[in-house]
């Protein structure tokens, strides 16, 4: 792999970077405001070429005959190569996304672990047998075919691997579409997959704008399955488009997750956890605990202590040691985040801290926004209902356990939540009552390898990170094999 950051990214089709004489888009470093590279603005034609390459590679008998163990071995080799290049990959990701280096380093470590997990799963994933009257029932889980993997900008490499690892473990071929804002590490991934020994055409990348290149993938008749991570609004377009050809579909969408801090919580742990739960990745995380529900008995104290700590978060150069929060993905996003904060104040919330772009010294060049807390928030306010996707927490008071659960569930989203309590029975009651795909008890570290990750309601459907994910990338086939002594002749003819 070339460890220099490549100046231009085209497409990766059939094991090689393609020539591109079409348009290029700028790729920014959001922390410095500099253009760091350019990326090809693909078209429906390039999508067709990539899908045809994937189809061809998928149907190649060599790939078809490969055992789960053999595919697992390739995934292990890829994991080792990513581990070897982790420093370079983390640097590329930080420079392109603006998030802190220790964060991208941890994401790459988790990605390596996930590849190893699916390497093992590829070797052990099998169908079932079922004895039936005079028949033996056998199920096969066969690869779906060509999978379009569409990922957003907030965890570009990690989310690509969340999809790619199970898709390849199950024996599919893929076409990956990164966000036009963050195409860089995907290319490195493709180079490493080639070095690991994946056949040409099994992993392809198309770059460009989502509404053009992404849409062309959704409409392509030879794409069998779409796995999409992104906003709920886009997810609805994806679903409607996939319905036209009944493509298999996984949707990982937005969230507005609640952290509930009960009166019996470990106060310091809850404070530290709720702080990290929203400001990690500058709040640009689907499972960010952006609504903080605090028991009335200590609401004011908690809000004051939270704001005190939020003001101390070190915001700045994401490459520098000691930085705790980097930049947002772009100035456009920063404007959206700031607009939400202003709307919250107009609707009656109190701005306790933050609420502004940071402009001191070098920060003025990037998209840095202060860690923000709004208090006296009602759950009906826009800031409590809509996904802000920035470093903005809203604090909502509650009195009873029932009220806390009702507020937490009063959302069109259902991705994640955390219950802060030392009462075990309460933890069990509340985790069962929350309408979300993920719940942490005294932790915000949900989404670990092997645990099904995904949402309820408008946060999507399907699960990633787990064994059952392999089923989303395969079609089950039931075979019923007759072994009776007489031929079956129900008509008696
Ligand atoms: P987005 O605008 O929905 O974009 C996601 C991806 O879809 C990008 O690659 C985008 O390409 C592409 N796209 C856009 N329009 C498309 C279309 N019509 N057809 C096909 N593809 C299209 O989301 P985002 O702003 O990048 O990401 C933030 C959202 O992702 C948040 O809502 C967050 O909660 C969600 N998210 C969810 C999870 C989860 O696991 N549930 C994880 C991470 C993020 P371009 O960027 O090139 O336009």
Written as one string, the DSSP assignment of 2-17 is: --SPPSEE--EETTEE
Q: What average pLDDT does the segment 201-217 reach? A: 98
How many Å lie between the centroid of ligand 1 and the Cα of residue 475?
26
The rounded mean pLDDT for the chain is: 97
**The pLDDT value given to residue 7:** 73
Q: How far is CA 357 from the centre of its chain?
A: 26
* 63 Cα: distance to centroid of ligand 1 (angstroms): 31
Looking at the predicted structure, is the pLDDT value of residue 2 above 50?
no
Percent over 70 (pLDDT), the chain: 99
Whether residue 341 is found in the same domain as residue 362: yes
Does residue 51 fall inside a structural domain? yes
Mark whether 221 and 312 lie in a shared domain. Answer: no
H-type alpha helices, 379-421: 382-385, 401-409
Which of 300, 252, 269, 256 has its CA nearest to residue 419?
A: 269
Q: What does pTM read for this prediction?
A: 0.97
Which DSSP letter does residue 357 get? B
Q: Is 270 in the pocket of ligand 1 (CB under 6 A)?
A: no
| Rounded-to-integer distance, Cα 240 and Cα 149, Å | 17
Pocket flag, ligand 1, residue 33 (CB < 6 Å) = no
The Cα–Cα gap between 258 and 293 comes to: 7
How large is the angle between the packed helices 299-312 and 267-279, nearest 10 degrees?
50
Which residues pair with residue 465 across a beta bridge? none
Per-residue confidence at 1, pLDDT binned at 50, 70, 90? very low
The vertex-257 CA angle with 256 and 261, nearest 5°, equals 135
CA distance 199 to 174: 12
Residue nearest to atom 30 of ligand 1 (CA): 230
Share of the chain above pLDDT 90, in %: 99
What is the number of the ligand 1 atom nearest to the C-alpha of 180? Answer: 47
Question: Residues with Cβ < 8 Å from 267, sequence gap 6 or more?
Answer: 298, 302
Rounded Cα distance, 250 and 40, in Å = 27
Same domain? For 212 and 116 the reply is yes
Does residue 487 fall inside a structural domain? no
Instruction: Give the mean pLDDT of 154-180.
Output: 98
Q: Is 110 in the pocket of ligand 1 (CB under 6 A)?
A: no
**Domain hosting residue 151, numbered range:** 3-253+459-478
Please tell me whether residues 425 and 285 are part of one structural domain: yes
Q: Which of 230, 328, 385, 464 to mutate to test the pocket of ligand 1 (most atoms within 8 A of CB)?
A: 230
Q: Which residues are part of the catalytic machinery?
A: 252, 286
**Same domain as 249, residue 262:** no
What is residue 3's predicted lDDT score, i.e. its pLDDT?
A: 40
Answer whether residue 4 shows pLDDT above 80.
Answer: no
- Closest atom of ligand 1 to 237 CA is 18
In 60-100, which residue ranges form alpha helices assigned H by DSSP?
Answer: 61-64, 68-84, 86-97
Torsion angles phi and psi, residue 477, rounded to 5: -125, 125
Examine the pLDDT at 206 and tell me if it is beyond 80. Answer: yes
Give yes or no: residues 67 and 102 share one domain: yes
Per-residue pLDDT averaged across 85-101, rounded? 98
Would you say residue 493 lies in a domain?
no
Q: Is the pLDDT of residue 6 over 70?
A: no
Query: Kind and range of the H or E element at 414?
Result: strand 413-414
pLDDT tens digits for range 365-377: 999 999 999 999 9
One domain for residues 184 and 316? no
Q: Please, which pLDDT band fits residue 446 given cuts at 50, 70 and 90? A: very high
What end-to-end distance do the CA atoms of the chain give, in Å?
68
Q: Measured from the CB, is residue 107 less than 6 Å from ligand 1?
A: no
Residue 430 φ/ψ, nearest 5 degrees: -75, -40
Position 399 scores a pLDDT of 98
pLDDT digits (tens, 9 = 90+) for 28-39: 999 999 999 999
- Do the beta carbons of residue 199 and residue 62 sit within 8 Å? yes
Q: Is 218 in the pocket of ligand 1 (CB under 6 A)?
A: yes
Handedness of CA 338, 344, 348, 349 (dihedral sign): negative
Res 424 pLDDT > 80: yes
156 and 131 in one domain? yes
**Residue in this structure with the two tokens 């998209």, named with its chain if needed:** 367
Domain assignment present for 398: yes
* Chain length of the chain: 493
Q: Is the dihedral of CA 308, 261, 382, 232 positive or negative?
A: positive
Question: 492 in a domain, yes or no?
Answer: no
- Whether 214 and 153 map to the same domain: the answer is yes
User: Which residue, judged by its Cα, is nearest atom 9 of ligand 1?
Assistant: 179
For residue range 103-149, list pLDDT tens digits in order: 999 999 999 999 999 999 999 999 999 999 999 999 999 999 999 99
Mean pLDDT of 329-340: 98
Query: Nearest CA to 150 among 50, 28, 25?
Result: 50
Nearest Cα neighbor of 285 from 449, 444, 440, 178 is 444
Q: Which of 9, 11, 178, 231 to mutate to test the pocket of ligand 1 (most atoms within 8 A of CB)?
A: 231
Q: How many domains does the chain have?
A: 2
Distance between CA 159 and CA 97 in Å, rounded?
A: 13
Is residue 242, in this structure, part of any structural domain at all? yes
Three-state DSSP state, 42:
coil
CATH number of 181's domain: 3.40.605.10
434 and 469 co-located in one domain: no
Mean pLDDT of 48-58: 98
424 with 465, same domain: the answer is no
pLDDT for 189 beyond 90: yes
Domain-located, residue 120: yes
User: 458 in ligand 1 pocket by Cβ < 6 Å?
Assistant: no
Angle at 352 between CA 347 and CA 356, to 5 degrees: 85
Same domain, yes or no, for 236 and 381?
no
Q: Is residue 91 part of a domain?
A: yes
The domain spanning residue 353 has which CATH number? 3.40.309.10
CB 210 within 8 A of CB 186: no
Residue 286 has φ and ψ, to the nearest 5°, of -60, -35
The CB of 226 under 6 Å from ligand 1? The reply is: no
């Amino acid at each position: 792999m070339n460890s220099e950051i490549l100046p231009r990214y085209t497409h990766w089709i059939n094991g090689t970077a393609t020539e591109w004489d079409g348009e290029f888009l700028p790729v920014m470093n959001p922390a410095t405001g500099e253009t760091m590279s350019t990326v090809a603005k693909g078209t429906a034609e390039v999508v067709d070429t990539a899908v045809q390459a994937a189809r061809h590679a998928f149907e190649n008998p060599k790939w078809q005959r490969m055992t789960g163990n053999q595919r697992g071995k390739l995934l292990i080799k890829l994991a080792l190569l990513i581990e070897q290049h982790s420093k370079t990959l983390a640097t590329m990701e930080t420079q392109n996304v603006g998030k802190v280096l220790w964060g991208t380093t941890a994401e790459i470590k988790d990605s390596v672990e996930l590849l190893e997990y699916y390497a093992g799963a590829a070797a052990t994933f099998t169908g079932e047998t079922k004895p039936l009257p005079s028949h033996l029932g056998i199920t096969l889980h066969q690869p779906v075919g060509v999978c379009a993997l569409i990922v957003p900008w907030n965890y570009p490499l990690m989310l690509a691997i969340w999809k790619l690892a199970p898709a390849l473990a199950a024996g599919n071929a893929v076409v990956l579409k990164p966000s036009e804002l963050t195409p860089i590490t995907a290319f490195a991934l493709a180079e490493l997959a080639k070095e690991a020994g994946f056949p040409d055409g099994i992993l392809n990348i198309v770059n460009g704008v989502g509404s053009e290149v992404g849409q062309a993938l959704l409409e392509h008749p030879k794409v069998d399955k779409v796995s999409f991570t992104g906003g709920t609004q886009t997810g609805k377009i994806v679903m409607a488009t996939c319905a036209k050809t009944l493509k298999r579909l996984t949707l990982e969408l937005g969230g507005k997750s609640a952290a509930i801090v009960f009166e019996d919580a470990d106060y310091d742990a809850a404070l530290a956890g709720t702080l990290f739960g929203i400001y990690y990745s500058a709040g640009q995380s689907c499972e960010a605990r952006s609504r903080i529900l605090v028991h009335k008995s200590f609401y004011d104290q908690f809000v004051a202590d939270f704001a005190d700590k939020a003001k101390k978060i070190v915001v700045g150069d994401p490459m520098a040691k000691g930085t705790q929060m980097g930049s947002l993905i772009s100035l456009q996003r920063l404007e959206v985040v700031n607009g939400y904060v202003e709307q919250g104040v107009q609707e009656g919330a109190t701005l306790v801290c933050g609420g502004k772009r940071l402009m001191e010294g070098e920060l003025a060049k990037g998209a840095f926004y202060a860690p923000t807390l709004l208090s006296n928030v009602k759950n009906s306010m826009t800031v409590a209902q809509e996904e802000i996707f920035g470093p903005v927490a809203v604090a909502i008071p509650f009195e009873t356990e029932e009220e806390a659960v009702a507020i937490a569930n009063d959302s069109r989203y259902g991705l994640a939540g955390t219950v802060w309590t030392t009462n075990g029975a309460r933890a069990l009651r509340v985790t069962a009552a929350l309408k979300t795909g993920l719940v942490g008890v005294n932790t915000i570290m949900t989404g670990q390898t092997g645990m099904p990750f995904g949402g309820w309601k408008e946060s999507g459907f399907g699960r990633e990170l787990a064994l059952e994910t392999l089923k989303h990338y395969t079609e089950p086939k039931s075979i019923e094999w007759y072994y009776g002594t007489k031929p079956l002749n129900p008509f008696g003819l």
